[in-house]
Amino acid sequence: MMQARRIAVVAAALWAGMALALEPLSGYTFLAAETRAMQDDEFENPGMMTVDQGAVLFREHRPYEEHACADCHGADGETLDREKIASYPVYDETLGGLVTLQEQVQHCWEINMDRFPLQYDAPELVALETFVRNRAHGQVIRVQTDGPLAALLQQGEQLYQTRFGQTGMACNQCHVQYQGQMLRGQQLSQGQANGFPEYRLAKGEITSLHKRLRQCFISFRAEPFEAGSDEFRLLELYLMSRANGLKIETPAVRF
C-alpha cells in the first residue's frame, strides 16, 4: 500500500517535470536582470545597431536600379506581414522547398531587385534579416509542422539528437535533458531560437542562428556544417518549430 502510494507520487512528480520540460521558455527567462533590461531598452540594446544597418539597406535605392525593398514593403517595412515573418522557415515549392527567412530576403535581393546574389550569412543579409524580424517583434511564432514540412522536421529533429565531434554530445542533451543546470558558470537554457539574430555579449557581435550553431559545433570539437547548408536549415526548421508559442525578440541580448 505504502509502496503503491510512493510509486504514484513519483509518477506524478515525473509527469509534472515532463510537462515543465515541454513548455517552451525563451532564453530571456534564464538571463540576469541587468541583461534583460539591456535587451528591453532600445537605446541600450547593442543589437539595435544592426537593425538600423538593416533599415538603411532596406531603403537604399541604387542608381540604375528599379527597386528598393522599401518600394514594395514600405519605408519602415510597414506592409510586411508580421504573421508571415513569424512562420519562417516555410515550404515553398517554387523556391525549391524549405525556405528560411534569410533565403527569402536573398531571393528578393537577387530576383526581384536584380542585384548580385549574396552568400548565406553575408553581413548585408544578416542585417536585413535582423531588421525584418524586428518588424515582427512580439509576434508569436507559428511554424507549420504538418504537410510537406513534417518529414523535413523529422530530419531536423534527428540532427538535433545526433552526437557530434570528439565530445560526442548532441544538442538535446544540454538543451532538453539538462536545461536549467549549470555548465560551470553558465546556466543551460532551452536553446530557443526566438531571438535570432541576437547580440552575444561574450563575443560582442550580432550572431545569426547558423553562426551560433557553428559555435556549438566547435565547442563539441566537431566539424561544423556550412552556413546555409541543408543540415543547418533543417536544424533551423526544427529549432523554430520548438519555439512555437514564444514571441519574436529580435534582436535578443544573450550571454
Partner 1 sequence: MKLLLKLLVAVLMPWPLLAGEQLPLPAEYCNWEVQDFSIKQPLCDLRGDPEQGRRIVADSHGGNCLACHRLPIPEEPLHGTVGPPLDGLAGRMSTGQMRLHVVDQRQFNPLTIMPGFYRDPRLANRVADAFFGKTFLSAQQVEDVVAYLETLQ
Where does this chain bind partner 1 (CB under 8 A)?
162-169, 173-174, 177-178, 181-185, 188, 217-218, 221-223
Beta strand pairing status for 198-200 and 182-183? unpaired
Cis preceding-peptide flag for 63 (omega within 30 of 0): no
Beta pairing, strands 198-200 & 253-254: parallel
For residue 100, give the nearest of 229, 254, 250 by alpha carbon. 229
Nearest to 101 by CA among 63, 128, 71: 128
Alpha carbon distance 99, 105 (integer Å): 10
- Cβ nearer to partner 1, comparing 145 with 181: 181
Distance, in Å, from the CA atom of 70 to the CA atom of 77, rounded to the nearest integer, reads 7
Distance CA 195, CA 242 (A): 13
Cell numbers at 192, concatenated: 530557443
Cell matching residue 193: 531560437
Per the annotation, the verdict on 69 as an active-site residue is no
As annotated, the active-site residues are 216
